Amino acid sequence: MPANSFNNFTEYGIGIGLRVPHYRHILAEKPVVDWFEIISENFMVDGGRPLEVLDKIMEQYRVVQHGVAMYFGSADRLNREHLKKLKRLVKRTKTPWLSDHLCWGSVDGRYTHDLLPMPYTFAAAKATAANIREAQDFLEVPICVENVSSYAEFHASEMTEWEFLSEVVERADCGILLDVNNIYVSSQNHNFDPYAYLNNVPHDRVGQIHIAGHSKFEKYILDTHDHPVLDPVWKLYAHAVKLVGRTATLLEWDDSIPSFEEVHHEALKANQFIEKLENATA
Amino acid sequence: MKRSKRTSSSKSSKTRRLEVRSRAELKALQSLMATAVFRPLTPEEGMQPRWIDGRTTSELASTFIKPNDRLTAFDRLEIYNRVYWFRVLDCLYDDYPGLRAVLGERKFMKMITAYLAKYPSASFTLRNLGSRLEQFLRDEPRWIAPRPELALDMARFEWAQVIAFDDESKPAITPDDILDTRPDKLRLGLQPYLSLLQLNYEVDEFLVAVKKSESAVLRSEASNTFEAMPHSSGREKRPRLPKRKRIHLAVHRHDNDLYYKRLDPEGFVILTALRAGASVEEACLQGLSSTKRTGVDWNEEIKAYFNNWTALGWFCRFSKK
Ligand SMILES: [Fe+2]
């Protein structure tokens, strides 16, 4: 049973990101994994090994697309060529939903390859929501937008980040990919209560959750995706699951990537929280 | 209207704060921040203290970024400035091990910094980051002195490998497809992933030696951040630089594995002519008229060339473009 209209894939379970160092292991050993998240841009190519690997993975596994370069929050209109390429991939993978970030990253065709934070204003929310609607209409697949971790705040902001996220998804009528690690990182960098964030986003729009590890520096926390999930992030995850119910969850591990088993083992820890919740409600 | 009046009247506040009440104002803020992010770092790997107009960058940052209890507006902007540069430098560092070995680490880093300052990424994917490097090096050879030709050869060779890895592959033509067409009418396309290079140095052998001496470093894919500039351990010894020698290379893939194949000069001329749109007959004539070799049975030789290239799947339907 879907938990709600934006969470149609409640039973997807726990996935991990498909990463190059694991290709060989996955293709040879065919381990049991609920699903893989792929970085769309890595497969928006015209040929060669990446697409061969993707096709082989899809013979065995469910794949969900996650993008890093749509830049819904860019003041520029979405790039049509980009959308066309993305749609070609969507047709290939038949991804049940697709995610990208609530951020910007390019101006006038120059790309930062980063997920840059938004000023939280109504005008920015309106522009962003228009971009998401356009993408959703063109791609013909449900979109979830993900909150990013950030290191700066703008004077221009008129609301909190969670108010901004809510404003955008309501206007765009889209789902949320709730990254609880990003919430934690930003809460530490900007001195807000991460639980207030979780409590105040529209729970019925959460279609997916991200968990990940981060790195602590002297004056700020960096979202490095190179560690196991830290304790406060698991606690936030437990709270999130309580609020939104069983939700497709994915562990991101992108740097200093350990063995496949280690990553998968870390991801599966999420099941404890889901089971605990379901036992309690039963 | 009201807005501009208010801001122009607030002369007293030295640092006018940027607001975002329209898409245009959002664009202005993003353009400003992007300009800051794209500016090269200082030699100490920090953000430049002076802004383009002579103000301090601190003052500039304060117009749109809030400080917190630990970091100033400058500090916070600097995080993004550093992350950007670490990421793009790291990408070219990995994509160009051969060029890095030709120039040496320090010179290589200076060169790619200048390149990226002139040509920030113009593609959604880091895969294309080196797409304008050859042009840049031709325009500004001072970055690759005193070995401009060798460096340029290596840059072209390494970019060809990016193309060979994942560029388009069209349906390959089989001998049956072309059986009935006369050679003076027959035109053949070459696979988009195939690059033909005429080079002045044996960069292929050099690169194999370089890669052997370096442990392969896998690029991470989707992480939001980088913590440090790419640096080598400084321990590895660079293989001896290649000698000057004219070679012809085809950089291609087969069964999705990457290969580079030396071509005879005549074979190179024929393939290049085919790519330019010559008929098979014209291309072969060009190949023959370029040869300096004697005592070769050219009928047999050319037949062997075409058999080999067809077997490798290099030919596809010709299309004007
Ligand atoms: Fe995430």
Phi first, then psi, for residue A100 (nearest 5°) are -155, 180
Helix, strand, coil in percent for chain A, rounding step 5: 45, 20, 35
**Residue A280 banded pLDDT, cuts 50, 70, 90:** confident
Whole-number pLDDT of residue B321: 65
Residue type, A30: K
Query: Mean pLDDT across the stretch A187-201?
Result: 97
User: pLDDT digit of tens for each residue in chain B (321 aa)?
Assistant: 333 333 433 443 456 799 999 999 999 999 999 999 999 999 999 999 999 999 999 999 999 999 999 999 999 999 999 999 999 999 999 999 999 999 999 999 999 999 999 999 999 999 999 999 999 999 999 999 999 999 999 999 999 999 999 999 999 998 788 778 888 889 999 999 999 999 999 999 999 999 988 754 433 333 344 455 565 555 457 789 999 999 999 999 999 999 999 999 999 999 999 999 999 999 999 999 999 999 999 999 999 999 999 999 999 999 876
Tokens of B262: 């030396």
Please tell me which residue of chain A has the smallest CA distance to B257.
A49
Please tell me which residue of chain B has the smallest CA distance to A69.
B124
Distance from C-alpha of A179 to C-alpha of A176, rounded to nearest angstrom: 9
The DSSP output letter for A7 is B
**Residue A223 banded pLDDT, cuts 50, 70, 90:** confident
Whole-number pLDDT of residue B290: 95
Query: Mean pLDDT across the stretch A203-222?
Result: 92
Give chain B's length.
321
CB half-sphere exposure, B305, CA atoms < 13 A: 22
Q: Which of A40, A108, A113 is the best substitution to test chain B (most B C-beta atoms within 10 A)?
A: A113
Name the packing angle between helices B265-276 and B298-311 (round to 10°).
Answer: 60
pTM score, whole prediction:
0.91
Whole-number pLDDT of residue B220: 36
Residue type, A265: H
Distance from C-alpha of A34 to C-alpha of B146, rounded to nearest angstrom: 56
For A278, other C-beta atoms within 10 Å of its C-beta total 12
Smallest CA–CA distance, residue B273 to chain A, in Å, is 25
* Exposed/middle/buried for residue B249 (C-beta within 10 Å: 0-12, 13-18, 19+): buried
The full set of domains in chain B, from first to last, is: 23-95 (no CATH), 167-202+242-317 (3.90.930.50)
**Is A155 in Cβ contact with B17 (below 8 Å)?**
yes
Q: Which 226-255 residues of chain B touch chain A by CB within 8 A?
A: 227, 253
Residue B117 contacts A, CB cutoff 8 Å: no
Tell how far the Cα of A139 is from the centroid of ligand 1, in angstroms: 21
Distance from C-alpha of B306 to C-alpha of B289, rounded to nearest angstrom: 18
Q: How far is CA A77 from CA A83, A128, A206, A221, B87, in A?
A: 11, 10, 26, 32, 25
Residue B119 contacts A, CB cutoff 8 Å: no
Residue A110 bridge partners (DSSP): A107
Tell how far the Cα of A177 is from the centroid of ligand 1, in angstroms: 8
Contact B145, B110 (CB under 8 A): no
Cβ-based contacts under 8 A for chains A and B:
184
Query: Mean pLDDT across the stretch A46-61?
Result: 96
Distance from C-alpha of B271 to C-alpha of B280, rounded to nearest angstrom: 9
Distance from C-alpha of A124 to C-alpha of B107, rounded to nearest angstrom: 42
Distance from C-alpha of B228 to C-alpha of B231, rounded to nearest angstrom: 8
For β-strands A63-66 and A98-101, DSSP reports them as parallel
Contact A110, B38 (CB under 8 A): yes
3-state DSSP call for residue A164? helix
Distance from C-alpha of A152 to C-alpha of B296, rounded to nearest angstrom: 70
**Residue A181 banded pLDDT, cuts 50, 70, 90:** very high
Helices (H), ranges, chain A: 23-29, 40-43, 49-60, 80-93, 122-139, 161-172, 180-190, 194-199, 231-244, 260-268, 270-281
A258 chain-B contacts, CB cut-off 8 A: none
Please tell me which residue of chain B has the smallest CA distance to A51.
B166
**Is A75 in Cβ contact with B23 (below 8 Å)?**
yes
Q: Which secondary structure element, helix H or strand E, spans residue A106, and what is its range?
A: strand A104-107
Please tell me which residue of chain A has the smallest CA distance to B74.
A152
Residues A3-16: tens digit of each pLDDT: 456 776 778 999 99
Nearest to B34 among A69, A110, A156 (CB): A110
Name the packing angle between helices A122-139 and A161-172 (round to 10°).
Answer: 40
Q: Which secondary structure element, helix H or strand E, spans residue A251, and what is its range?
A: strand A249-252
In the block, which residue shows the tokens 């349906």? B171
Whole-number pLDDT of residue B236: 53
Distance from C-alpha of A137 to C-alpha of A205, rounded to nearest angstrom: 18
Contact A47, A280 (CB under 8 A): no
B38 chain-A contacts, CB cut-off 8 A: 110, 112
Distance from C-alpha of B161 to C-alpha of B99, rounded to nearest angstrom: 13
Residue of B111, B218, B316, B247 lying closest to A22 (CA atoms): B218
CB half-sphere exposure, A88, CA atoms < 13 A: 12
Q: What percent of chain A has pLDDT over 70?
A: 98
Residue B63 contacts A, CB cutoff 8 Å: yes
The full set of domains in chain A, from first to last, is: 10-281 (3.20.20.150)
For β-strands A206-212 and A175-179, DSSP reports them as parallel
**Is A109 in Cβ contact with B223 (below 8 Å)?**
no
A255 chain-B contacts, CB cut-off 8 A: 220, 223
Contact A209, A9 (CB under 8 A): no
Helices (H), ranges, chain B: 2-9, 23-38, 57-62, 73-95, 97-103, 105-118, 133-139, 148-166, 175-178, 203-213, 265-276, 280-290, 298-311
B33 chain-A contacts, CB cut-off 8 A: 116
Please tell me which residue of chain A has the smallest CA distance to B61.
A154
Within its chain, how far is the Cα of B280 from the centroid? Answer: 32
Whole-number pLDDT of residue B8: 39
Q: Check whether the bond before B146 is cis (ω within 30° of 0).
A: yes
Distance from C-alpha of A239 to C-alpha of A228, rounded to nearest angstrom: 19
Whole-number pLDDT of residue B181: 84
**Is B225 in Cβ contact with A222 (below 8 Å)?**
yes
Query: Mean pLDDT across the stretch A157-182?
Result: 97
Whole-number pLDDT of residue A275: 87
Whole-number pLDDT of residue A261: 95
**ipTM of this model?**
0.94
